[in-house]
Chains A and B, each alone.
Chain A
Amino acid sequence: MTKDECKQAVVAIIADIAPDEDLSNLKSDVRLRDQLQLDSMDFLDIVMELRKRHGIEVPEADYGQLASLDSCAEYLTPKFNAQAAKS
């Protein structure tokens, strides 16, 4: 998986948990919280959906890694690839 594909997977999750947000002009390098109305409950859902859909675990101490799409890609792409290698 490329970093771009990883970002797309995260955006797909956000689109489902926050259908009332406009995701068409998301900037990769800006904190998601600064572009969208996402609270801690929504971030919990991103984490839970990552586990449910992709089998990826994000420990609570690492939630900060999900701040922007860029940081999501940095942090999650290796996890996606490790998960793909397992199956």
Chain B
Amino acid sequence: MNTRSDYDVAIIGAGLSGLAAGIRLAHFGRRVCIFERHNAPGGLNSFYSLAGRKYDVGLHAVTNFVRPGTKGTPLAKVLRQLRIDRDEFDLCEQKRSRIAFGPAGETALHFTNDFAFFESEIARVFPAQAAGFRALTDLVRTTPFGAPTPLSRPILRQHLSEPLLVEMLLCPILFYGGAQAHDLEFSQFAMLFDAIFREGLSRPFAGIRTILHVLLDKYRQAGGERRMKCGVKQIVEQAGRAAALVLDDGTEITATQVISSIGAPETAALVAAAAPPEIGGGPGRISFVETMSIFDRQPAALGWGEDTIVFFNDSPQFAYDRPAGPVDVRSGVICFPNNFEFGGGRQLAEGIFRATCLANYDAWTGQPEAAYRASKQQWFEQVQTSARRFLPPVADSALAAATVSTDMFTPRTIERFTGHRNGTIYGSPAKVHSGATGLANLYLCGTDQGLLGIVGSMLSGIMMANQHVLRKTDPGP
């Protein structure tokens, strides 16, 4: 077991996209191996244990949620293509989320997984914009994924005369998928608008672990191999092809085809060639910090209500960019993993409060350890203080008394555990929708192929496996 040195397909990275690609290929008889540098699978959506607690990283909510019977959507496609019964993912719907703008979130749009409710919120808060919003929704519906499109803000402004609404719509979309500063291509906007608003938010009761366990089980049952703590440190180029992969331990393996899920610039950097290929553009610059607090009671019991996700911004203008300082606390995302409809009387054992803000990679790297720790402590306070402006007030003393644990990740943590340069979450701004890399048998899947979110990542792996491996005629097993 695990001693073979030649495969039909080698996959770099055991994140959601790599695992999904692996399941497809193994199911159809390809000899596949996934190489993962870390000991835990999941990549950008993983989990870790600290002091006996399991923390999710990445996952706030699984977007693209649709109820059973809704066909033709990304979630339905993923379930079919991976032969997963939807109950296996245990997806539980959000209660209610909010986009809150103004110093204390005075202007608020609520949304649930019923799009009609969101439309009614737009009509309630911005009555004059209802028709424009419908026209924008129609445009979203008819914009195909991956079509080259202009930036979104000017298109939004054509449909909506109220700039505040434009910013309020861009805020959740950029926070849940913006790889570049300020704006994103309209086709990306459309994909995320569907994923967040027209479809919806959900979460497995046990978090990302549920999804990863299902994928790992399917992959193993299909006969796929994986090697953990075994990264790929070099792709050997020969005559325009990926001729071999050199693993971290120096072993060389060969594969007819190679799928890399680690990002476009990250993949390009592995290629040892006289003229390394240019894949996509350079690395992105958008990174984040996230604080996590664990409480001995549910957030609602603290007086924080039942918001699932709150996208906040303390002024009418939303600035999505790498901040000048370490963190931009003016805007951010709050997530209460407790506030999903888990059903069956289930509730998470502890209260969890996560707050995410834009951060500057350079400010968080290259510091000596002691200074880094001090920054973390300082910014932990500032992030939480800022986020709490958008929640019902809870006394510091009450919060401190209920807190049982805290943690925080920074751009430095993200880079260490995902290998993403600049600590990006949404990868490189230039997406490579075809997955092509310039090497004939090397393809990208995952974030830099352009599909985002947990469902999107899996779909990316599926599409690239279908398109570049399964569709090509071969002798078969």
To the question of whether A and B form a pair in one complex, the answer is yes
Interface residues of A (CB under 8 A from B): 16-20, 37, 39, 41-42, 44-45, 48, 51-52, 57, 59-60
B72 located at the interface, meaning its Cβ lies under 8 Å from any Cβ of chain A in the complex = yes
Given B28, B68, B71, which contacts A48 in the complex, CB threshold below 8 Å?
B28
Query: Is B471's CB under 8 angstroms from A41's CB?
Result: no
Chain A residues with Cβ below 8 Å from B470 are: 44, 48
Given B71, B83, B476, B477, which contacts A37 in the complex, CB threshold below 8 Å?
B71
**A40 to chain B: closest residue by CB:** B466
CA distance A60 to B226 in the complex (A): 31
B85 located at the interface, meaning its Cβ lies under 8 Å from any Cβ of chain A in the complex = yes
Pick 14 A–B contacts, CB within 8 A, sort by A. Answer: A16-B83, A18-B80, A20-B68, A20-B69, A20-B76, A37-B71, A41-B463, A41-B466, A44-B466, A44-B470, A51-B28, A52-B28, A52-B477, A57-B476
In whole Å, how far is B56's beta carbon from the nearest beta carbon of chain A? 28
CA distance A20 to B69 in the complex (A): 7
Interface residues of B (CB under 8 A from A): 28-29, 68-69, 71-72, 76-77, 79-81, 83, 85, 462-463, 466, 470-471, 473, 476-477
Query: Is A52's CB under 8 angstroms from B83's CB?
Result: no
Chain A residues with Cβ below 8 Å from B471 are: 44, 60
**B477 to chain A: closest residue by CB:** A52
Q: Is the interface of B mostly helix, strand, loop or mixed?
A: loop
CA distance A16 to B470 in the complex (A): 18
Chain A residues with Cβ below 8 Å from B80 are: 17-20, 41-42, 45
Query: Is B81's CB under 8 angstroms from A37's CB?
Result: no
Query: Is A39's CB under 8 angstroms from B72's CB?
Result: yes
Chain B residues with Cβ below 8 Å from A37 are: 71-72
CA distance A75 to B79 in the complex (A): 29
Query: Is B81's CB under 8 angstroms from A41's CB?
Result: yes
**A49 to chain B: closest residue by CB:** B28
In whole Å, how far is B337's beta carbon from the nearest beta carbon of chain A? 28
In whole Å, how far is A11's beta carbon from the nearest beta carbon of chain B? 16
CA distance A34 to B457 in the complex (A): 29
CA distance A78 to B35 in the complex (A): 42
In this complex, which of B28, B79, B80, B463 has the most chain A Cβ atoms within 10 angstroms of its Cβ? B80
**A36 to chain B: closest residue by CB:** B71
CA distance A37 to B72 in the complex (A): 7
Using A20-B71, A60-B473 as known contacts, list a sample of 15 further A-B pairs with CB atoms less than 8 Å apart, ordered by residue number in A. Answer: A17-B80, A19-B80, A19-B85, A20-B68, A20-B79, A37-B72, A41-B77, A41-B80, A41-B81, A44-B466, A45-B80, A51-B28, A52-B28, A52-B29, A59-B473
Query: Is A51's CB under 8 angstroms from B476's CB?
Result: yes
**B69 to chain A: closest residue by CB:** A20
Q: Which 3 A-B pairs have the closest CB atoms?
A: A37-B71, A48-B28, A37-B72
Chain B residues with Cβ below 8 Å from A51 are: 28, 476
CA distance A44 to B76 in the complex (A): 16
Chain A residues with Cβ below 8 Å from B463 are: 41
Chain B residues with Cβ below 8 Å from A16 are: 83
